[in-house]
């Protein structure tokens, strides 16, 4: 049943991000107070993303939702809802960054190990629990990114590390999009142009900030 698929996907996501948050908390060199603050902040935005995905799903299927809401809510969200939810979350974070001084770069840097471990765990669950052979490509990519992060996180500036991981992730996802029927992000089938856009955006932001600092 569709509702069962939704619940299984939700359970896999909860387990994955719980492992990611635990790994961050145990491995971070920050004080307990700062780690708790960062974990709470990351959880807050993860919850917002989930809510935005549901809102996006309703917006994109509003006529059907008005006539038969169960038909919309019972089925898993698609990539379009994921794109729109990310856009809404980006708008929220940008607004809060300007209004309340949210340190977006610091938030993203702290979120890196959480996302990497969560993604790795999700692919592991997909292989073991769902017996999904197509998950091996993403599993290997996330393992590679996780190893790179662990090896260079203390030797490279945070901004450069974030950019390098993003570029490697983008290239890896594009390769997987070519060799596999499709590639995913937490079960959402993503178009290759999305990865190109994410990579280009991060490169442009990095170059803009570097130029701003040097000028």
**pLDDT > 90: what percent of the chain?**
39
Q: How far apart are CA 34 and CA 39, in angstroms?
A: 9
Instruction: Quote the tokens at residue 186.
Output: 């937490």
Residues of the chain falling short of pLDDT 70: 1-6, 101-102, 212-215
What's residue 65's pLDDT?
Answer: 79
Q: How far apart are CA 162 and CA 160, in angstroms?
A: 5
What's residue 1's pLDDT?
Answer: 46
Q: How far apart are CA 142 and CA 70, in angstroms?
A: 35
Tens of pLDDT, residue by residue over 97-141, are 777 766 777 788 889 999 999 999 999 998 988 888 888 999 999
What pTM was estimated for this model as a whole?
0.88
């Amino acid at each position: 049943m569709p509702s069962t698929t939704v619940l299984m996907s939700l359970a896999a996501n909860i387990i994955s991000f719980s492992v990611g948050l635990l790994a961050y908390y145990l491995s971070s060199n920050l004080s307990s107070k700062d780690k708790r603050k960062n974990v709470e902040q990351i959880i807050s935005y993860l919850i917002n993303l989930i809510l935005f995905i549901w809102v996006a799903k309703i917006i994109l299927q509003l006529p059907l939702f008005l006539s038969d809401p169960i038909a919309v809510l019972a089925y898993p969200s698609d990539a379009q809802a994921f794109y729109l939810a990310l856009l809404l979350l980006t708008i929220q974070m940008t607004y809060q960054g300007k209004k309340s001084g949210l340190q977006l770069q610091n938030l993203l840097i702290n979120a890196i190990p959480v996302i990497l471990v969560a993604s790795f765990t999700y692919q592991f669950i997909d292989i073991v629990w769902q017996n999904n052979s197509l998950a091996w490509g993403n599993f290997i990519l996330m393992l590679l990114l996780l190893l790179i992060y662990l090896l260079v996180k203390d030797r490279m500036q945070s901004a450069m590390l974030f950019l390098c991981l993003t570029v490697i992730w983008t290239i890896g996802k594009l390769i997987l999009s070519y060799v596999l029927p499709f590639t995913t992000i937490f079960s959402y089938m993503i178009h290759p142009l999305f990865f190109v856009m994410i990579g280009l955006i991060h490169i442009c932001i990095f170059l803009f900030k570097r130029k701003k600092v040097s000028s």
